[in-house]
């Protein structure tokens, strides 16, 4: 099966759900990139292009939602979480209105556009807003399934999506998306690896690399970063006593921080964080950038070995 | 608008002014200047223009109102109290910890508030959202909003202006409270947003000037800009602090509560005004 970008899954899901549900979709002149254009073409009366004015778009979304029904608002993560931060906070977070902020092009895998467009701070910015649910799917199956579940959930959601095609992990026929639930994909007693987004397929690669070295890890996918499934996280941390968190985000404020906040309170454990080390990104092919910043299966495997005190 | 309606609205606005001054005095915090300058526009909307089927401020077909300059909420809260949507007695809890009457409007806490506002520019965009939702859902309600002249220095105001014009939101009427003062002084000295009428014309709006303290004029202007195939804006010439002599046209009363004697003086002036408009009604 070919790799699929989660933005494509989102675009397909909107198109399919558009028949079933009566929501409205907004975009800020990026409908081709965010894939909301598919919905726009089929349901032009329920699509509003807000032009290059993301702050206005977020408050418009709140105004529409205040009259009833769900609104999906899409742009790149850097503009959704960055430029329009305070509109998201006050018009959507504070009001608790039913707006789904579906932000594509998150993380380093934006690629060639470089640092100005690579949002490595959005998980941090969004999860600190009260009322905000933060979801970051790991593959096509999960992203597609999540769209219907976040539609059904009444309240603000930040949905983090990528531009870069990623391997399909979950089986389309059997997969069920449970908002708020972490998913253990591999079981192993030496170390627990918590991952989100594109890093989940990398964590699965690390599982294979380490297994060949006689090290057994658990891989737990965290698609819902807020509210965090603390019960599952504590359970795996308590079992393994060694924790690594992998995310395509700054090591400050993202999933790694969320796991640390959880474990420092409920199960003090040393946590190693794999992510972008408090620096801006740069241009390059997405796959090359992942390698450059160590966001790979071997990068995660190295972090596990270091945590376990195993020399490479 | 007939003389009887004008007198009725004068009484409602006078009641609101007495109440809002009390609320700010009890809180010893709040924004009297902009509240007093917006009070007549809000009175016109709540006691004449806006439709509330079954007198229900949550009715889906009701007209919407967004106070984008949310700091003027004492005027809105007093209108909601006079309207009967919230108890008058609660106004004196304004801005206190135990109160639902927040320092800026909160739609989840206050019956009759259609949108939480306070961060300037956002309410205007939200009003555009309500208006376009009405178009998409084929609902006949109108959306009204008040923005400030200082607020018009926010970039988001112009994003919203562009949006409303692009989508021909002729079910949206905005009132610009032009009192020429912002916290730091005269808008023309701080960051001149004028000429506001010309700017909104250039953005494709139906623009009319009005006296923001004259109900007949507000009604004339509102009718001129409503449902004209594009969004309408009434540029309302107003007096900051209107009705309290020592607050009028003084930017220092933007965000300051009156104390002891100041309050007594202000209260007497507003009470005298209320008595005089009531007498006018009976005459």
Digitized pLDDT (tens) for each residue of chain A, 312 residues in all: 899 999 999 999 999 999 999 999 999 999 999 999 999 999 999 999 999 999 999 999 999 999 999 999 999 999 999 999 999 999 999 999 999 999 999 999 999 999 999 999 999 999 999 999 999 999 999 999 999 999 999 999 999 999 999 999 999 999 999 999 999 999 999 999 999 999 999 999 999 999 999 999 999 999 999 999 999 999 999 999 999 999 999 999 999 999 999 999 999 999 999 999 999 999 999 999 999 999 999 999 999 999 999 987
**Could you report the per-residue pLDDT of B50-63, keeping only the tens digit for each?**
999 999 999 999 99
Q: Identify the sign of the CA torsion A31, A34, A35, A40.
A: negative
Question: Which residues of A are less than 8 Å from B67 in CB distance?
Answer: none
DSSP class of residue A44 equals G
- Cβ A62–B123 below 8 Å, yes or no? no
Give the dihedral of Cα atoms B51, B57, B58, B64; nearest 10 deg. Answer: 50
pLDDT at B281: 55
**pTM beyond 0.95:** yes
For B:63-82, CB contacts with A below 8 A are 64, 66
* Domain coverage including residue B273: 3-282
- What burial class does residue B168 get, using C-beta atoms within 10 Å of its C-beta: 0-12 exposed, 13-18 middle, 19+ buried? middle
Rounded to whole angstroms, how far apart are CA atoms A192 and A194? 6
**Spatial separation of the C-alpha atoms in residues A245 and A193, rounded to whole Å:** 6
Which tokens is B244 given?
Answer: 């309290």
Scored b (16 or more CB within 10 A) or e, A8-21 reads: bbbbbbbbebbeee
Tokens 């939200």 belong to B126
Q: Which residues of A touch B128 (CB under 8 A)?
A: 56, 59-60, 63
Are the CB atoms for A14 and A40 separated by under 8 Å?
A: no
Res B282 pLDDT > 60: no
- Determine the distance in angstroms separating the CA of A299 from the nearest CA of chain B, rounded to an integer: 43
What chain A residue is nearest to B157 in terms of C-alpha separation? A56
Produce one character per residue of B247-267: b if its CB has 16 or more CB atoms within 10 Å, e if not: bbeebebbebbbeeebbeebb
Record: contact A96-B118, CB cut-off 8 A: no
Alpha-carbon distance B280 to A79, whole Å? 56
Which residues is B181 bridged to in the sheet?
Answer: B186
Domains of chain A plus CATH, in order, are 6-160 (3.40.50.970), 183-305 (3.40.50.920)
> In terms of DSSP bridges, do strands A99-104 and A71-76 run parallel, antiparallel, or are they unpaired?
parallel
pLDDT tens column, B104-155: 999 999 999 999 999 999 999 999 999 999 999 999 999 999 999 999 999 9
Q: Which member of A54, A205, A247, A248 is catalytic?
A: A54
State residue A312's pLDDT score: 73
- Catalytic annotation on A208? no
> What is the pairing mode between strands B185-186 and B181-182?
antiparallel
Contact A55 B123 (CB under 8 A): no
CA A128 – CA A131 distance, rounded (Å):
9
Average pLDDT, chain B: 97
Q: B120 to chain A: which residues are within 8 Å by CB?
A: none
Cross-strand bridge partners of residue A192 = A218, A243
Sign of torsion over alpha carbons A182, A188, A191, A197: negative
Beta bridge pairs of residue A76? A104
Give the start-end residues of each E strand in B203-271.
206-211, 232-237
What residues of chain B lie within 8 A of the CB of A94, using their CB? Answer: 106, 116
Q: Do A65 and B129 touch (CB under 8 A)?
A: yes
Q: If DSSP codes are grouped into helix, strand and coil, which group holds residue A258?
A: helix
Q: Which residues pair with A274 in a beta bridge?
A: A246
Flag whether pLDDT at B283 surpasses 70: no
DSSP A218: E
Chain A CB contacts of B133 below 8 Å? 24, 63-64, 67
pLDDT at A288: 98
What is the three-class DSSP state of A25? strand
Find which of A51, A60, A90, A92 to mutate to test the B interface (most B CBs within 10 Å of its CB): A60
Judged by CB atoms closer than 8 Å, whether chains meet at B125 and A56 is answered as: yes
Question: Which of A286, A269, A126, A290 is closest to A199 using CA atoms?
Answer: A290
Residues 6+ apart with CB under 8 A from A34: A7, A10, A11, A27, A74, A75, A76, A102, A104, A105, A161
Q: Examine the pLDDT at B161 and tell me if it is beyond 60.
A: yes
Q: Is the ipTM of this complex over 0.90?
A: yes
Identify whether the C-beta of residue A47 lies closer than 8 Å to the C-beta of residue A29.
no
> CA angle at residue B150 from B147 to B156, to 5 degrees?
65
DSSP reduced 3-state for A256: helix
Would you give the distance in Å from CA A140 to the centre of its chain? 12
CATH of the domain at B202: 3.40.50.970
In the block, tokens 């109108």 appear at B142
pLDDT digits (tens, 9 = 90+) for B66-114: 999 999 999 999 999 999 999 999 999 999 999 999 999 999 999 999 9
Buried b (16+ CB within 10 A) or exposed e, B221-237: bbeebbeeebbbbbbbb
CB contact under 8 A, A64 and B108: no
Interface A-B, measured as beta-carbon pairs within 8 A, has a size of 102
CA angle, B16 then B22 then B28, to 5°? 135
Q: Total structural domains in chain B?
A: 1
Tokens for B186?
A: 């005269």
H runs (alpha helix) in B58-121: 73-83
Bridge partners of B176, per DSSP, are B147, B235
pLDDT band at B280 (very low <50, low <70, confident <90, very high): confident
Q: Could you give the CA distance from residue A197 to residue A12 in angstroms, rounded to a whole number?
A: 18
Pairing of strands B172-178, A47-49: unpaired
Q: Does residue B160 sit at the A interface (CB-CB below 8 Å)?
A: yes
Taking the C-alpha atoms of residue B185 and residue B149, their distance in angstroms, rounded to an integer, is 12
Nearest to B126 among A50, A53, A63 (CB): A63
Q: How far is A62 from chain B (nearest CA, A)?
A: 6
């Amino acid at each position: 099966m070919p790799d699929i970008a989660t933005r494509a899954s989102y675009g397909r899901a909107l198109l399919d759900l558009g028949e079933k549900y009566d929501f409205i979709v907004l975009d800020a002149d990026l409908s081709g990139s965010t894939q909301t254009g598919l919905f726009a073409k089929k349901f032009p009366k329920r699509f509003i292009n807000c032009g290059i004015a993301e702050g206005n778009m977020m408050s418009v979304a709140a105004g529409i939602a205040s009259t009833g029904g769900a609104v999906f608002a899409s742009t790149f993560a850097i503009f959704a979480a960055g430029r329009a931060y305070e509109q998201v906070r006050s018009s959507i977070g504070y009001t608790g209105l039913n707006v789904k902020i579906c932000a594509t092009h998150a993380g380093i895998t934006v690629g060639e556009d470089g640092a100005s467009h690579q949002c490595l701070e959005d998980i941090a910015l969004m999860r600190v807003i009260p009322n905000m649910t933060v979801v970051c799917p790991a593959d096509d199956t999960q992203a597609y399934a999540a769209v219907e579940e976040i539609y059904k959930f009444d309240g603000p959601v930040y949905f983090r999506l990528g531009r870069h095609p990623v391997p399909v992990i979950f089986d389309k026929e059997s997969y069920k998306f449970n908002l708020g639930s972490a998913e253990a994909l591999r079981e192993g007693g030496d170390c627990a690896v918590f991952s989100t987004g594109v890093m989940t397929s990398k964590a699965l690669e690390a599982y294979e690399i380490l297994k060949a070295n006689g090290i057994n890890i658990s891989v737990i996918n965290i698609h819902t970063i807020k509210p965090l499934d603390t019960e599952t996280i504590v359970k795996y941390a308590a079992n393994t006593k060694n924790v690594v968190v992998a995310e395509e985000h700054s090591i400050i404020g993202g999933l790694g921080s969320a796991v640390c906040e959880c474990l420092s309170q409920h199960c003090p454990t040393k946590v190693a964080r794999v992510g972008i080390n408090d620096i801006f990104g740069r241009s390059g092919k997405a796959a090359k950038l992942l390698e450059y910043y160590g966001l790979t299966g071997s990068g995660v495997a190295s972090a596990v070995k270091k945590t376990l005190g195993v020399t490479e | 608008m007939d003389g009887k309606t004008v007198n009725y609205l004068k009484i409602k606005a006078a009641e609101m002014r007495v109440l809002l001054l009390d609320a700010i005095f009890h809180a010893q915090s709040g924004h009297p200047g902009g509240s007093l300058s917006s009070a007549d526009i809000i009175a016109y909307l709540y006691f004449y223009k806006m439709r509330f089927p079954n007198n229900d401020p949550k009715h889906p077909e009701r007209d919407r109102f967004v106070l984008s300059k949310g700091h003027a909420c004492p005027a809105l809260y007093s209108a909601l109290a006079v309207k009967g949507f919230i108890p008058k007695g609660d106004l004196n809890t304004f801005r206190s910890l135990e109160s639902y009457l927040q320092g800026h409007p909160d739609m989840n806490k206050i019956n009759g508030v259609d949108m939480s506002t306070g961060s300037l520019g956002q309410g205007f965009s939200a009003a555009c959202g309500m208006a376009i939702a009405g178009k998409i859902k084929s609902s006949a309600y109108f959306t009204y909003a008040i923005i400030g002249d200082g607020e018009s220095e926010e970039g988001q105001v112009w994003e919203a202006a562009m949006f409303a014009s692009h989508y021909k939101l002729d079910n949206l009427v905005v009132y610009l409270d032009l009192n020429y003062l912002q916290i730091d002084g005269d808008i023309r000295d701080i960051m001149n947003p004028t000429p506001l009428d010309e700017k909104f014309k250039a953005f494709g709006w139906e623009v009319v000037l009005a006296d923001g303290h004259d109900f007949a004029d507000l009604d004339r202007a509102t009718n001129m800009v409503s449902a004209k195939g594009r969004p309408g804006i009434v540029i309302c010439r107003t007096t900051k602090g209107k009705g309290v002599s020592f607050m009028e046209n003084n930017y220092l009363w933007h965000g300051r509560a009156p104390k002891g004697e100041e309050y007594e003086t202000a209260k007497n002036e507003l009470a005298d005004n209320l008595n005089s408009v009531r007498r006018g009604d009976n005459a």
